[in-house]
Structure 1
Amino acid sequence: MAETSLADIIAALPSEDSWGPSTSNETTLNGVPYAPYSKGDKLGRMADWTAEGKDGRDGRGGRQQYNRNYRDQQVYGAGTSSLFAVQLAEDESTFSVVSNTRDSAKTRFGRAGTFARGRGQRGGRGDLRGGRGQFQRVGGRGGQQQYGQYDTRGGRGGARGGRRFGWKDYDKPQRNRDASVNIKPDWKLLEEIDFNRLAKLNLDTDDGEDIESYGFLYYYDRSFDKQPVKTAERKLNVVDRAAYNVTTSSDPVIQELAEKDEATIFATDNILSMLMCSPRSVYPWDIVIIRQGNKIFLDKRDNATLDMVTVNENAADAPMDASDGSKDALNQPSALAEEATYINHNFANQVMIESDTQKVEMTHENPFYNPSEETEPPASKAYKYRRFDLSLNDEDPVHLVVRTELDAVQKNAISGEDQFITVKALNEFDHKAQGSGGALDWRTKLVSQRGAVVATEMKNNSCKLARWTVQSIMAKADVMKLGFVSRANPKSNDRHVILGVVGWKPRDFAQQMNLSLSNGWGIVRTIADMCLKREEGKYVLVKDPNKQILRLYEVPAGSFEEEEEQGEAGPVDEAAEEEE
């Protein structure tokens, strides 16, 4: 019997009972697409249909991997994976996936629609700690992006050039500031206005007209404009002069103008600038609003925070208070505010050329200075009472009278005419300390990088500089002088030196800061309308200490007068007054 091979046995079996594929004499390559490969290709998977995708990229959008040793050789089989693509059946061609999610484009850190674009303000901060909303121009027809909207990963704000969180910046505790005034239970909450609504208000007004002018002005000493030599820095001297910051209702001139029915709204430039620049504010403040008849008086309380000059209020990492864990008593917000107020008072008096023969007299004398009671000479100050038209139509006229202030006068270098100027001072405490806001060293950078120094101050002190600019524009000042004053020793706050003075035209400076006066007038008119539609009485507008919200309260008459009496008289005297 002949030997039978295993192949002959398998071939003799019937095909329907066989367990393997049917045999064929043809090659297995016939009818099957063949994809050659290069020696440089990595065969990491048995079958990888996504290794080569559209335009040479894989399914995840990454680059096609190749071995650099074979980069000059021909890549075999490129694009042949499409031959193995599964052809959809006819009944599947009309199939679609239903999704209830939005079709808006997503960025790396969330949807693009989560960023607020519009006429925002630059300056301030608003991260996950409940701070303030800072804006930064990102281009495109003045569009701006709000910093305060980060995702939970603490990443970049969705746009190139956005600020990253620092090391464990997301884990810092939220700062809880105290309100500037104690909210009592008998106060009635009337309105709550967030800063986003305030930033959208707009009201165009005229340049205003002068009604009365009081006081006098000395000439400005131009020698301060020259950069001092390092070996002979100018020291900031203590110059005691009588200066006043009388509130609106206590001003005798405003009282006379109110009796003559000159306007509907009365205010001082200090109070009005705070209200107009409120969307930039961070620290708490309050304004007392008194309605008498059809008139509105914007007042401030005694020793109010409006009288203090803040330092680095809008910095990304503002100075910390003792309650926040700061152990540096010199660089706490309250101490820095007192230091800055002291510097501004003395600096404005020091840069004057005090001469009785060379000074500009206003129409009337200083209304607050009494020679028989004051021991110090009056400071160079001119008070101009100016009127602005805030009317929306001719049928319902609304005018505002504001007391503005000018600090000095100087001769125009070209025409020789007198120019009115305002004098303010920026102060540097320690550029290496916490709360400095990344400020440069003024002693070395003020001359060579003055633009960078000013830009940093615009960012860290947006609210303060905006208020000074608004006050200068309302006073119709020709020039605004900004002095740069630094500590002689960063560890001591009692000795200072003047590093330089720079002058700007107020409107040009406002344009650099992206400051809109029409927005400020819109805020004033809106707050006034809220009070005019209500009954006569006293109201308080309070900035929330930890949120970007303004709250309007109705308070009982004589609320703050009682607090003042308690500070001056004892409880026995008060009881005696009640019995009488």
Structure 2
Amino acid sequence: MAPVFNQIITKLATDGAWGPQDPTEAEGTINGMPYNPFSKGDKLGRLADWSGDAKGDRDQRGRGYGRNYRDQQIYGAGASTLFPQLQGEDEASFSLVDNRSNVKPRTPFSRGGGTVFRGRGRGAAGAARGGQRGQQFGRQQTGRQQGDVSRGPRNNRGRRFGWKDYDKPQRNRDSSVVIKPDWKMLEEIDFNRLGKLNLEIDDGEDVESYGSLFYYNRSFDRSATKATSTPLVIFDRAWYNPTTSGDPIIQKLADGEKATIFATDTVLSTLMCATRSVYSWDIVINRVGNKLYFDKRDGSQIDFATVNENAADPPMDVNESNKENINSPGRLALEATVLNANFAVQAVIEDTEHEHKFEHEDPFYTPAPGEPELARKGYKYRRFDLSLSDDQPLHLIVRTEIDAVMKNPASGQNNLVTIKALNEFDERAQGSGGAMSWRNKLHTSRGAIVATEMKNNSCKLAKWTTQAILAKTDFMRIGFISRVNPKEREKHVVLGVVGYKPREFANQMNLSLSNGWGIVRTIIDMCMAMPEGKYILVKDPNKQVIRLYEVPPTSFEEDGEGEAAIEEEAEE
């Protein structure tokens, strides 16, 4: 090679040209051989490599110019002829285009594939083994069944659960209260910040107790295992749930300097479980001197029990096209609230001779001629220490409710019970959240049904559990109530009742009471930093954000704003 290299150097020195010469001239050859261009990136390798992977030189459509081969088309690389056509380096990014129709290979999931995987795959296994039964199973999967399987995610045809959820129209819900222009927004906190708060406090202490209770009817516990149904009775009773500022006992405790912060269990549980909420809600906060009162508006949505609020596809709101829909969020909430109130009365044994009485009589009921009978409730005013240091004490008094008592067979003592009810409207309707039929599955798949309700009604169950823990009740009884006819909401039956201890149920739901107390303490600190006046805390209807507004002192008193949207929607 040395003499050849010297000849090339001599040729460059005389002619000043580099590259191949005209082969027709004697000067265009070197030792009788035409000159072949080369690149600096060329490497000496095998003359012929038969061990390489032929698939690497072909693309996924079978053409000869595969990805690996195409990327090597640089100047002079892999030249197989003595005089190749010179190409610029900018042409290396071009590739051939195939205009032929794209024929998809036959797969087990495509139409006509011959094998359909359903259930536990028995048909597929039979076809793979060549058995006659498996082949018959594969041939029988025609019509709608085979179409459902073939329209899978591979060819993106047909409607499947969760497919194109991004293309759904955004639901713009209305706020629970109309934000007026003269309201001044003071703070805005997103749920991510609220979820990181934490405050450990003790179990609290009882200050005073009022009312009376009946004993729980244990026959409802046996109905869950026997899968029997009991018609739900609608009672003519008087229920009272006054707001914090309208409670005479709280006013007496506030005058006695028993605490600085006052609330009811309904309002406080809404605030403690704020991060689980989806629908809009609002809490009115009144600061009078150095005291805070967490109130609710008349007809506020806090008084209503939502249905499937946390479902992936919650019930659809009422609009012009579905005015007669009985499964809208507002109508379902009103139905659930009525069921809860009546089931708490039906689940007890109304016997005035065997009645558990607290220290004082009911503070809200005054017997009068023509007035309906009182629905028995027990009220315990409990105090919690929210102080961060001994120098700055901070106490909260909350009014809690108890629904019944139950005799403990071992100790003979009375255990306090909280009674609630879940309602099933229609497992086939939109917004059911994938729940299975209670009527058919409650006695065999109770755990699966409860787990589904924990997912679809996470906020509601968390609030009920928080209220039971605040009241320091011993047991929770949750009834499962279903419509007699899914198309009508007037008649219901009680299918069964399940019982839990509040603390254990909170652990199953991953409910953190310390996080709830951290949220309460943060809101208290924000309001304590403001001057005296009236404020409102509003959860955004479409975002995971709560906002604190300063409102005029006369707000929510004389205007008609206290009527909630739920009641308007529930009207026929």
Deviation of 1:18 after TM superposition, in Å, equals 6.7
Report the secondary structure of 1:466's partner residue.
helix
How far apart, in 2, do the equivalents of 1:494 and 1:46 lie?
Answer: 72
8 A contact 2:228–2:496 mirrored in 1: no
Pair 173,415 (structure 1): closer, same or farther in 2 beyond 3 Å: same
Residues 130-209 of structure 1: pairs in structure 2 closer than 5 A: 166-209=162-205
How far apart, in 2, do the equivalents of 1:224 and 1:558 lie?
Answer: 48
- The equivalent of 2:338 in structure 1 is 342
- Pick aligned residue for 2:211 from 211, 215, 230: 215
Q: Which amino acid aligns with 1:387?
A: R
How far apart, in 1, do the equivalents of 2:467 and 2:230 lie?
Answer: 28
1:261 aligns with 2:251: no
Deviation of 1:166 after TM superposition, in Å, equals 2.0
Report the secondary structure of 1:226's partner residue.
helix
Q: Which amino acid aligns with 1:473?
A: I
Deviation of 1:184 after TM superposition, in Å, equals 1.3
Return the TM-score normalized by structure 1. 0.72
- The equivalent of 1:488 in structure 2 is 484
1:37 aligns with 2:50: yes
Pair 455,566 (structure 1): closer, same or farther in 2 beyond 3 Å: closer
Structure 2 runs not aligned, ≥5 long: 1-22, 37-43, 73-152, 154-159, 564-572
Deviation of 1:41 after TM superposition, in Å, equals 4.5
How far apart, in 2, do the equivalents of 1:566 and 1:546 lie?
Answer: 21
- Pick aligned residue for 2:281 from 275, 282, 285: 285
1:249 aligns with 2:262: no
Give RMSD over aligned pairs.
2.9
Deviation of 1:481 after TM superposition, in Å, equals 0.5
- Listed one character per residue, the Cα deviations across residues 524-570 of structure 1 (whole Å, up to 9, x for unaligned) are 11111111111111001111111111111111111111216999xxx
Report the secondary structure of 1:346's partner residue.
helix
- The equivalent of 1:240 in structure 2 is 236
How far apart, in 1, do the equivalents of 2:256 and 2:198 lie?
Answer: 29
Report the secondary structure of 1:523's partner residue.
helix
- The equivalent of 1:562 in structure 2 is 558
Q: Which amino acid aligns with 2:258?
A: E
Q: Which amino acid aligns with 2:474?
A: D
Pair 324,193 (structure 1): closer, same or farther in 2 beyond 3 Å: farther
How far apart, in 2, do the equivalents of 1:218 and 1:310 lie?
Answer: 27
8 A contact 2:298–2:562 mirrored in 1: no
8 A contact 1:320–1:326 mirrored in 2: no
Deviation of 1:36 after TM superposition, in Å, equals 4.5
Deviation of 1:380 after TM superposition, in Å, equals 2.0
8 A contact 2:228–2:495 mirrored in 1: no
How far apart, in 2, do the equivalents of 1:542 and 1:21 lie?
Answer: 87
Deviation of 1:373 after TM superposition, in Å, equals 5.8
Deviation of 1:199 after TM superposition, in Å, equals 0.7
Deviation of 1:193 after TM superposition, in Å, equals 0.8
- Listed one character per residue, the Cα deviations across residues 438-475 of structure 1 (whole Å, up to 9, x for unaligned) are 01100111111111101110111011000000000000
1:546 aligns with 2:559: no
- Pick aligned residue for 2:329 from 330, 333, 337: 333
Deviation of 1:20 after TM superposition, in Å, equals 3.8
- The equivalent of 1:442 in structure 2 is 438
Deviation of 1:359 after TM superposition, in Å, equals 1.3
Return the TM-score normalized by structure 2. 0.73
Deviation of 1:13 after TM superposition, in Å, equals 6.3
Residues 299-314 of structure 1: pairs in structure 2 closer than 5 A: 299-314=295-310
How far apart, in 2, do the equivalents of 1:188 and 1:47 lie?
Answer: 68
Comparing 347-356 with 238-247, greater Cα deviation is found at 238-247
- The equivalent of 1:320 in structure 2 is 316
8 A contact 2:297–2:562 mirrored in 1: no
Deviation of 1:294 after TM superposition, in Å, equals 0.4
- Listed one character per residue, the Cα deviations across residues 3-62 of structure 1 (whole Å, up to 9, x for unaligned) are xxxxxxx9x967856774489xxxxxxx853564269945648898959xxxxxxx9xxx
Report the secondary structure of 1:388's partner residue.
strand
How far apart, in 2, do the equivalents of 1:539 and 1:545 lie?
Answer: 18
- Pick aligned residue for 2:429 from 415, 429, 433: 433
1:271 aligns with 2:233: no
Deviation of 1:178 after TM superposition, in Å, equals 1.1
Structure 1 runs not aligned, ≥5 long: 1-9, 24-30, 52-58, 60-155, 157-163, 568-580
Pair 558,35 (structure 1): closer, same or farther in 2 beyond 3 Å: same
Report the secondary structure of 2:495's partner residue.
strand
Percent of aligned pairs with the same residue? 60
Report the secondary structure of 1:481's partner residue.
strand
Deviation of 1:236 after TM superposition, in Å, equals 0.2
